[in-house]
Structure 1
């Protein structure tokens, strides 16, 4: 489910809960809406409201941290890609094939993460081996001097770091906000808005205020879900570092 759709569902749930509270109020006996009843319900709702506020705050902070970490990891990977390209350039013309594979890898990363997934080519739809073809080409080299042997070892070391980061990204690709936790959070928020509607007078000002509040909370949930997937959605990590690396790669 996309972040926009999730936010819309949350908005409908909260608006519906407030509307149910307003409609139910007209059918409640008088002793159910007495001052003592209101005080007891407000105290109980305050506990749920505190839990909801803490959960929303922690989720927003966690989503922002994940987004910042993704940006940092991307820049680190780009730096390693450029370093690997320069190391192979110093080895000699024998690494021309490996450098070409590395450039193709960066192009595929750009296409897969920021391109149109529905237009994927046969190459991108195939098994994702990451930088392993580049490593195979590097291992097949036959260094003739101590300098070339040192450069080969350095290139394999850097490519190993890139491969590790790649597989970590693959493993974390399906992670996001747990839907069970989101459902419980929406239940808490719906309960709060139900009590808002239960005690609020029915007029245009109150209805508009409740709608704006529901929209604000739904926007917070949208931010949490959207930023939990830093390479997808409305708010995503910029592809500028990879494009800049692509322009620099292949130079002598």
Structure 2
């Protein structure tokens, strides 16, 4: 479900719960709103609030950790691309085809993962597929085919000097690291926030806001505060869900490192 829809649902439930508590307080008998009752309710709600804070903290830590890890891996991936291109460049003209394939793959990966960041580019001769994408796709058969072609061209190199032999070995090892890290990024592309966590958290927060409204005076200040608090918590849930998809939505990992890698290749 879209993060904005869930955030809106959180706001409606929380603010509705507070207003429901205010509405209920006007229809309860006085003994049900006594000081002793308020103390008992505060004690129970305090325990629920502590658990809600724990769940919210766990969700935040999980998605933030994955987001930061993915950002570092993207930078490492760009570094692997640059060092592989440098090794092929030093190899000589025999590696031009492999370098062209590597540039084509990098351009396609950028266009596929960050749509709209690059101008449409024509397909390289002999490459699979061409043209920009309009939807974020961290992995596809086209990307895998392009990267596999880079590997085939590197392995097909026929070194004629000891230096070329060393550069070919370096390129093969860098290609293996690149392929492995690509699958790591695919796995990191989305942190699955358990739906049950979100549902339970919404229920708990709604109950908490309902208890707040139950013993709050009905005036503009109270309603405004509950409105702002509901908006704040809805915003917090929105940020958590947005960060759970590092390549989609409003909060994404910037493509700067990959763009610099591509710029380095075309020099």
TM-score (norm 2): 0.86
Contact 2:17 2:210 in 1 (8 A): yes
SS at match of 2:250: coil
Matched, 1:146 2:159: no
Contact 1:176 1:225 in 2 (8 A): no
Match of 1:119 among 134, 152, 162: 134
The CA distance in 2 between the partners of 1:148 and 1:164, in whole Å, is: 24
Matched, 1:220 2:215: no
Q: Over the residues paired in the alignment, what is the CA RMSD in angstroms?
A: 1.9
Larger RCO (CA within 8 A; separation ≥ 6): 1
Contact 1:143 1:149 in 2 (8 A): yes
The CA distance in 1 between the partners of 2:188 and 2:7, in whole Å, is: 23
Determine the structure 1 residue equivalent to 2:247: 231
Determine the structure 1 residue equivalent to 2:63: 63
State the aligned residue count. 248
TM-score (norm 1): 0.91
C-alpha distance 118-149 of structure 1, shift in aligned 2 (>3 A): closer
The CA distance in 1 between the partners of 2:111 and 2:4, in whole Å, is: 23
1-10 or 55-64, larger mean C-alpha shift: 55-64
Contact 1:10 1:218 in 2 (8 A): yes
Where does structure 1 lack aligned partners over 5 or more consecutive residues? none
233-242 or 124-133, larger mean C-alpha shift: 124-133
Post-superposition shift, 1:22? Answer: 1.5
The superposition leaves residues 181-234 of structure 1 with CA deviations (integer Å, 9 ceiling, x where unpaired) of 111111111110110111111111100000101111111111111112111111
SS at match of 1:151: helix
Where does structure 2 lack aligned partners over 5 or more consecutive residues? 117-131
Contact 1:17 1:190 in 2 (8 A): yes
The CA distance in 2 between the partners of 1:151 and 1:10, in whole Å, is: 56
The CA distance in 1 between the partners of 2:82 and 2:158, in whole Å, is: 23
Contact 1:85 1:99 in 2 (8 A): yes
Matches within 5 A, 1:33-112: 33-112=33-112
Matched, 1:182 2:198: yes
